[in-house]
Amino acid sequence: MSDNTPYIIIGKEEGVRALASAFYDAMDELEEAESVREMHKENLDLIKQKLFEYLNGWLGGPHLYKDKYGSICLTDPHQPYPIGEEQRDQWITCWDRALEIVDAPDEFREMTREPIQRMASLMVNT
């Protein structure tokens, strides 16, 4: 294991942006992610940008989301949406597909696998 953060390993801002973008492209394309796609707006540009900003800090880089929107509990903006285990699993399916699309290094996948599962489980509210 290197001392690098996931942020460095994925390729800093450029890599995180590509991952966030690939994530919502996967959500748009995967039939098995239909119910989670339906919760989102038709146009995914803003949410791609927000996820990029959030992940940038979460993965160990500059806290772009916090700097812009302040310190929030991420479960709050998810409250209006009924998120069950099925939606959580769909979200993770999109994440896994995004890792394939950007050809994320194995080290990045290993470092983020459990934390992202835990994070997604925190959003379950129904």
- Residue of the chain from 4, 77, 110, 125 that contacts ligand HEM (CB under 6 A): 77
* Alpha helix segments (H runs only) across 2-84: 6-10, 12-29, 34-38, 45-58, 64-69, 75-78
The Cα 12–Cα 28 span in angstroms is: 25
b/e sequence 4-39, b meaning 16+ C-beta within 10 Å? eebbebbbbeebbbbbbbbbbbbbeeeeebeebbee
Nearer of residues 3 and 71 to ligand HEM, judged by Cβ? 71
Min separation Cβ 24 and ligand HEM, Å: 10
60 CB neighbour count, 10 Å cutoff: 16
Q: Scanning residues 2 to 41, which ones bind ligand HEM (CB under 6 A)? A: 36, 39-41
Reduced to 3 states (helix: H, G, I; strand: E, B; else coil), residue 50 is helix
CB of 4 to ligand HEM, least distance (A): 20
Task: Using the minimum distance from each CB to ligand HEM, give the nearer residue, 3 or 118.
Answer: 118
The yes or no reply on residue 96 touching ligand HEM (CB under 6 A) is no
Number of residues engaging ligand HEM in binding (CB under 6 A): 20
**Residue 3 or 70 having the CB closest to ligand HEM:** 70
Residues in touch with ligand HEM (CB under 6 A): 36, 39-41, 47, 50-51, 54, 69, 74, 77-78, 81, 83, 87-88, 91, 119-120, 123
